[in-house]
Amino acid sequence: MLWGTEESSSYGQADMTDADSDSSPSSSPSRDMALSPENPLFNKYEIGKLLGCGAFAKVYHGRDVSTGQSVAVKVIHKSRLKNKVNLMNNIVREISIMSRLSHRHVVKIFEVLATKRKIYIVMEYLKGGELFSRVSKGRFSEDLGREYFHQLISAVSFCHRRGVYHRDLKLENMLLDENGVLKVSDFGLSALKDQVRADGLLHTLCGTPAYVAPEILAKKGYDGAKVDVWMCGVILFVLTAGYLPFNDHNLMNMYRKIYKGEFRCPKWMSPDLRRFIARLLDTNPARRITIDEIKEDPWFKIGFSDTASEYLPAESQDDEKKSFESQDLNAFDIISFSHGLNLSAMFDETHSATEDVDRLTAEDSPEGVIRKVEAAASANDADLWVRRTKGYGVELEGQNSNFVASLEVFLLTDRLVVVEVKRISGDAEAFSDLWRDKIRPVLQVSGNH
């Protein structure tokens, strides 16, 4: 489907037909039982009323038994995802990305749990509902619209610096907490920097029709950051005008208007706001205003304080390059190394641990580990070729081509790394013997995962 899945739930994509849960441990669930306050999910979360449901998910209000904190629990039924590869990929992407984005204007994922039948995503509970519901009751004043736009740009700017492009920004994905603070949700269609092709552009057709950027319609590739800016422009227009800039009962007519940039600002908009929106909704992405230029615009700058950096992890404040393209690990990544919580295992009931994968921790730098692997391979009796790959990774190949394996190094702390090696093909015994006897011992192992 070209434009993704529309749904009434504000917490992203997925689905279920019933409302069950599990009371057994995640590692060996014995049966699924009805969700209820008397039957806590995994003995951790009391489940309350249904908040919303969409094509592939139901979202419930929950309460953390130990702290009393309110949470939102999205329930995904695996059976509904069979033969829906794109949808499964979207859900995995959403979980992975949102769990790594720590910002006051991005919905937070606390935990992901799974049983044989279902996946449970425990998220921040946002009592204020969708921003769409508020603006549907009437347009905002310029001051109020600017206040929410400040929060949106703060979140989008943070995501872009972390190498994430949302690609489906719309009012239905803007949630509010009990204090009216905006939170961006639903990263199921988002993309990472390393997904761009050789031309430096993204090519996947995605988004919501009324918000889609003209360059996506052109099908010639697009810049993810520029697309997000366009969608932000549509959101600002709706907040301050009370209706969509591009709208038509005929979808093709609406796309034509988008492609040509045919919209008209209402008379009550100030000249500065009209000029600003025109820069956001410029059909030429090369001319379209950038996030940095947005922050310097006279209309936008009123009352704006760029505090986004205070929500960056400390290690990222000095080095913006520590994005998802780097090999740094956070707590969610470490947990995901467990076969019981590996996301692929959550969706694939046939997945199981394999002896062809090994992980270890080492007190070294990523570059130091790679050099030691290269040194071990150069030994006369190693019978091994080593080729560096992207980031801190190498490909290992037996000199008689009897096996091929990959090795990656992930930075855990300043002095500790996780090394993961996987056999890709070939003789399992030859690979295992060489790894165990020739390479693993030289990496200063300090523990296994």
The CA distances from residue 161 to 94, 125, 218, 289, 312, in Å, are: 18, 26, 26, 17, 10
Beta bridge partners of 71: 62, 124
Q: What's the DSSP call for residue 438?
A: I
CA distance 182 to 186: 13
CA distance 138 to 440: 64
The CA distances from residue 168 to 111, 188, 210, 254, 280, in Å, are: 23, 8, 11, 17, 16
One-letter amino acid of 106: V
Active-site residue flag, 168: yes
Which parts of 222-330 fold into alpha helices (H)? 224-241, 251-260, 271-280, 291-296, 298-301, 314-317
Closest by CA to 266, choosing from 357, 145, 379, 358, is 145
What does the H/E/C string look like for 168-179?
A: CCCHHHEEECCC
Residue-wise DSSP of 345-391: HHH-TT----TTEEEEEESS-HHHHHHHHHHHHTSTT--EEEEEETT
Q: Which of 168, 186, 282, 328 is catalytic?
A: 168
Residue 269, both tokens: 């908009």
Residue-wise DSSP of 205-248: --S-GGG--HHHHHTS-B-HHHHHHHHHHHHHHHHHHSS-SS--
How many residues comprise the chain? 449
Q: What's the DSSP call for residue 443?
A: G
Catalytic residues, by residue number, are: 168
